[in-house]
Amino acid sequence: MDRCDTLTTLRRHKISVTEQRRRILAEIHSLDGTFTAASLKESDSLGGIDEATIFRTVALFLERGVVRSVGDSERGQVFEKNCEHNPAHGHFRCTVCGTWSCLPPFSAKEKRGLFSLLPDAYAAESVSVVFQGVCPRCSG
């Protein structure tokens, strides 16, 4: 998967650049799936950055649209990068092992179909689809 430039992303979202934010965002950009703030803490590349800083930074990234929330897990809120290299798509959460899987991106027709489910009085800006069940690894 292609990756965005960390400094450009921070500046585009009007986030002041610090070494810690740059390192956390570089780690997020390197991921091809979902993550939690707790899972970022386990990354070797983020050694030396305390847990509170990681949680605050992810919250800031969510507020500014750098990441998007896709659901909740036993390890906390689940996120993914929100950029041109990661178009809107659904997710699957395994109720046995707890893993999250990204599904293929929505087609334009599928997106229209999802938004058409919303009554006219509402103005949605995004949609999140999470299927839950048993993944292929656990069902075999």
- The boundaries of the domain holding residue 127 are 89-135
How far are the Cα atoms of 52, 80, 92, 120, 123 from residue 36, in angstroms, in the given order?
A: 13, 9, 15, 34, 28
| Entry pTM | 0.86
In this structure, are 23 and 47 located in the same domain?
yes
In this structure, are 11 and 62 located in the same domain?
yes
CATH number for the domain spanning 102: value is 3.30.1490
Contact predicate 30/86, CB 8 Å: no
Q: Is residue 140 part of a domain?
A: no
Residue 140 DSSP label: -
pLDDT, tens digit, 9 for 90 and up, residues 87-130: 889 999 999 999 999 999 989 899 889 889 999 999 888 788 99
pLDDT, tens digit, 9 for 90 and up, residues 48-98: 999 999 999 999 999 999 999 999 888 789 999 999 888 889 999 999 999
In this structure, are 16 and 68 located in the same domain?
yes
Helix (H/G/I), strand (E/B), else coil: 55 = helix
- The whole-number average pLDDT for the span 7-13 is 96
